[in-house]
Amino acid sequence: MTFAELRALHALIGTALDDIQRTYTASAAPHPLHPPDADPDGTSPPDFPSLSAPYDPSSPSEALLHDPAVARACARIVAAAGQLTAAVQNPFLTICDATMTYHLPACMRVLEASHVVEILREAGPDGLHVERIAARVPYPIDSRTLAHVLRLLATHHVLAERAPDVFANNRLSSYIDTGKSVAEILSNPDSKYADTDGVAAFVGLNTDELFKSSAYLADALLRLPEDRPPTRRPHQEGEGEEGGEEGEERALTFCSRLHRFGAAMRGSARWEGESGILDGFDWASLEPGALVVDVGGGVGSHAMRLARAFPALRFVVQDRARVCEMGREVWKVQFPGAVEGGRVVFQGHDFFDEQPRVAREADVFLLRVITHDWPDADVRRILGRLREVAKPGARLVVGEHVLGEACHLGGRGADGAWDWPLLANGGRASACGHYMDMTMLSMFNAQERTAREMRALWASAGWCVGEVRRAAGNGGFGYIVAEPAVELHQGRL
């Protein structure tokens, strides 16, 4: 790293900040009764969201972050700042960061599971002394110990320490607020994530079984082949097949985790930005009455968003029978009439099995965060089952993190690559996708994939990738749009 590269990164941050401020300034509509150089009420441009204030989803400042130009500029700042930090920080301290941040998810789990965010929200903007926080936490946590946990989070800008041992929510901590009262949560802990945006559940999922599994990744990978069955996953090294529980306790844990997982999948929609799945494909190009088969669609959260935006489309949501039962109940409350009227059908189905007859009518097969759960051979089977029934003109739309290589291939800007001096994949700005890659490896011996890997794998199942849509500034999440390979129509595959 030379001074020229350091200054290039510095300049990139400044330019990106200018782009953001330009968009914020342009968003302020002038008041018809005041000249532009006055300072009339309501005409001042919104300021950038403050890190020290709680997250406000209704704020114009937050809404502007979804503007594509702002999202791209924010991502450039994250990428450049991360690379600049790696370049100038003492190498040993960077190694410490890389090898000791396992404490962060551990402390995040304490924060979420003990409902500290909700406790602090009820305390107000001035915060609460840790002794009073500990008194409301439903676990026997020593207040001094809790202070050290919360201080680590505050050091990483999650929470704010207003005074010694006095903590308050900030923009990041309040983002995982369920919005429920502490009393409501404590009266029925199993319903904490019900009717929420799912972000708290996403935090709980990541910092519980997924975090524990990651600790055993090296143990699994560094075993000799004869000592490691090919189907054994790293998380089994830690918990084993039985997860350390038996009988009723195991059943209750599974049920609780199943509900949390469903809520966490709602939370994971934040990967995609505001428009998300709506921009993943040209849904408006489909004819009225077109059928979308949501494969492994869970309770239909994403199908519901499409159904609201495109009222002429029909949907079949496929998943395990038990999940489908949950989905029907969710739709009865959140979108009454859709299931009862037949516009949306829940269908119990194992996507490794032959697709039901209705799939032959599908105009679009939708798979969102499904293929990353499975090794290549299994993905080939899943996509192959869809290819067997795909009619001419059908489309396959897959939503996943699309990983990028850290090196530049084919020149600057090739296949979504970021320009010099940044890493080709955006470095820190794309880290979420690479974290998920290791999560899939730890849990399922599976993986996220690069665009090159997807094209090759899809082709081996009879699908031709035509387009990869990446949303601005979302950490690499995108939609891969494919069509049936012509050779299959002609009977040559």
Q: What is the pLDDT of residues 99-150, one digit of tens each?
A: 999 999 999 999 999 999 999 999 999 999 999 999 999 999 999 999 999 9
* Predicted confidence (pLDDT) per residue in 407-417, tens digit: 987 654 455 67
Over residues 273-297, mean pLDDT: 92
Q: What angle do CA 451, 452, 455 make, to 5 degrees?
A: 85
**What rounded mean pLDDT belongs to the chain?**
89
pLDDT over 90, % of the chain: 75
Is the CB of residue 169 less than 8 Å from the CB of residue 117?
yes
pLDDT for 489 beyond 60: no
pLDDT at position 125? 95
**Among residues 235, 302, 372, 434, which one is catalytic?**
372
- Name every residue whose Cβ is closer than 8 Å to that of residue 229 and which is 6 or more positions away in sequence: none
Complete domains list, the chain, with CATH: 3-84 (no CATH), 101-191 (1.10.10.10), 199-268 (no CATH), 277-489 (3.40.50.150)
pLDDT for 204 beyond 60: yes
**DSSP one-letter code for 364:** E
Over residues 430-456, mean pLDDT: 94
pLDDT at position 462? 97
* Predicted confidence (pLDDT) per residue in 36-65, tens digit: 444 445 568 999 999 999 999 999 999 999
pLDDT at position 491? 39
pLDDT at position 487? 53
Indicate the pLDDT class of residue 339, thresholds 50, 70 and 90: very high
Active site residue 372: yes
pLDDT for 392 beyond 50: yes
Indicate the pLDDT class of residue 236, thresholds 50, 70 and 90: low
d(CA 3, CA 354): 60
Q: Could you write out the DSSP letters of every residue in 262-283? A: HHHHHHGGGGGTTTGGGGSS-G
In our burial notation (b when 16+ CB lie closer than 10 A, e otherwise), range 18-48 reads ebbeebbeeeeeeeeeeeeeeeeeeeebeee
Over residues 276-283, mean pLDDT: 92
pLDDT higher at 305 or 37: 305
Angle between helices 143-155 and 103-113 (to 10 degrees): 120
pLDDT at position 35? 47
Both tokens assigned to 240:
């084993």
pLDDT for 372 beyond 80: yes
pLDDT at position 259? 82
